[in-house]
Structure 1
Amino acid sequence: MNKSTLRKAFTLIELLTVISIIAILAGVAVPALQHAVKVGKMTSAMNSARQIGMSLKMYSGDNDGNYPIKQNSYGEDIVTSNDAFRSLIPSYLDTEKIFTVPGSKAGPSADEQIDDAAHILQPGENHWAFVSGLNSTSKSNWPLIADHTDGSGNYTTQEGAYGGTWGGTNAVVVYADISAHILPLSGTGNQRYLPRPDDKTKNALSVNEYMGDSVQLLEPAH
């Protein structure tokens, strides 16, 4: 083998080596980047949920310590979390966008029509579930606001489905003390759940089991 042929062989080997290294680095970098993007989205959602919680706190200060229950500020029966949160606009919040999460099945976007009560937080404009029946003196580690679920209080690994916003890995929650968190979920498959602080084997959103019959988990309007 002459020097020219040998050099070409080495060049090919070097090229294949570089390609292999790039492929390996890409395999590591892409998942890391995807995770970073997801964490960024969850953090943004958590900050929005915290602001909703702070607005609920202000509402309770004007309503004998109570959060929206039975009827909202417009005299409508509270059946969904949209109905409850409608009490906050425009007196405590001047935007619907804070109730949305891009990619959410329940509330991906809002049209910001808040001049007429009939248009405030219509179906598809609210991502968040709300625990109705709590007040400003409720236990600090009881959930008040959380990512909406699949309708049963559970989360799913199916991204794009109800309860699958974060792929069944985490949930954003605001507790009654208005502290906001991104927490890992427990359970398996499509039966993922937010663990209770006092008993990690139980679902924190099965609220009647430990908060009483007067408390109810309200999901967004579909």
Structure 2
Amino acid sequence: MREGPTTSRKRVLTWPEMVAGIVAFLLLIFLILLALPLVIRSPHNKMDKGISNCRQIITALRIYSSDHDGKYPDSFLKNPRSSNEVFRELFKEGIFDDESEHIFGCPVSPFIPDGKVGAAPDFQQALEAGENHWAMTAGLSDSASGSVPLVYENPVVTAWSPMWNPDAKGTETRGRAWSSGIIIGMNDSSVGIQPLDSKSGTAVPMKDMGEGTNLFTQHGEVGTASGEWRVLDVEVKP
């Protein structure tokens, strides 16, 4: 007489084995949660946030210029002294609202927007001293060369060409650089990290492009001889 096929029984985990498995799973979740802040706070992610903010500012300037014959807000201000004054016009124009001031900050910066912009039409509290990270070039229009820097991180030296402090990288210091350079938005709306001429020093210009020129000086005296192109610095709290 032939016996029927035998069926194998699956091994059932014992209670101690189940407990050990659950503990191992929970430990894995704990380690992932522990490492997550390190990933979120990495320099790369911080730079990405800064690049995003710079891009939004340039987009707003482009929206403004499209309604003002290609001119940026500084063209309509009498002797603007800072980029804060110019960017405040974007609130007056309705391009930014009362929840947008944070865009003018940047990770690892001493300049922190407080989220208070004041009431229309003047928005006097928008971007007060110490609340704007970004400098800009005055005297440009959207028809000027796309290779001219338009919006960039605040420098330590505001002459043309400006300089930054790579020795202060990773610190909330005025004019600090990233390890790979400075966030710069160009007049063609492109935004990225641009290298400095050295990775050390307290006042370093942009990387030499050859023949002693850099991003700021590559056009020679075009726009600078008459003082039309100049750095509008950020306002610092007294």
Sort the TM-score into its range (normalised by shorter chain): 0.7 to 0.9
Which residue identity lines up with residue 232 of structure 2 in the other structure? L
What is the percentage of aligned positions where both structures have the same residue? 25
Please say if residues 43 and 182 of structure 1, whose CA atoms lie closer than 8 Å, have aligned partners that are also in contact.
no
Which residue identity lines up with residue 126 of structure 2 in the other structure? I
Look up the match of 1:125.
131
1:180 aligns with 2:186: no
Which residue identity lines up with residue 231 of structure 2 in the other structure? L
Counterpart pick for 1:166 among 170, 178, 190 = 178
Structure 1 residues 189 and 180: CA distance shift in structure 2, 3 A: same
The normalised TM-score by structure 1 is 0.73
1:67-82 matches, within 5 Å, as 67-72=72-77, 77-82=79-84
1:17-28 matches, within 5 Å, as none
Please say if residues 103 and 165 of structure 1, whose CA atoms lie closer than 8 Å, have aligned partners that are also in contact.
no
CA positional deviation for 1:208: 8.9
Counterpart pick for 1:89 among 91, 111, 115 = 91
Structure 1 residues 80 and 209: CA distance shift in structure 2, 3 A: farther
Please say if residues 104 and 127 of structure 1, whose CA atoms lie closer than 8 Å, have aligned partners that are also in contact.
yes
Counterpart pick for 2:51 among 46, 52, 58 = 46
Which residue identity lines up with residue 114 of structure 2 in the other structure? A
Please say if residues 147 and 215 of structure 2, whose CA atoms lie closer than 8 Å, have aligned partners that are also in contact.
no
Unaligned runs of 5+ in 1: 1-29
Structure 1 residues 142 and 179: CA distance shift in structure 2, 3 A: same
Structure with the largest fraction of helix: 1
CA positional deviation for 1:209: 4.9
Please say if residues 47 and 107 of structure 2, whose CA atoms lie closer than 8 Å, have aligned partners that are also in contact.
no
Deviations 1:2-22 (A, max 9, x none): xxxxxxxxxxxxxxxxxxxxx
Deviations 1:46-78 (A, max 9, x none): 011101101100110111111122544xxx751
1:192 aligns with 2:204: yes
CA positional deviation for 1:125: 1.0
Look up the match of 2:109.
104
Tell me how many residue pairs correspond in the alignment. Answer: 185
Task: Give distance in 2, aligned partners of 1:55 and 1:177.
Answer: 13
Task: Give distance in 2, aligned partners of 1:206 and 1:82.
Answer: 24
Counterpart pick for 2:117 among 102, 107, 113 = 113
Q: In structure 2, the residue corresponding to 1:103 is in which secondary structure?
A: coil
Counterpart pick for 2:215 among 199, 204, 209 = 204
Unaligned runs of 5+ in 2: 1-34
Give the number of the structure whose alpha-carbon radius of gyration is greater: 2
The normalised TM-score by structure 2 is 0.69
Q: In structure 2, the residue corresponding to 1:69 is in which secondary structure?
A: helix
Look up the match of 2:231.
217
Task: Give distance in 2, aligned partners of 1:160 and 1:205.
Answer: 25
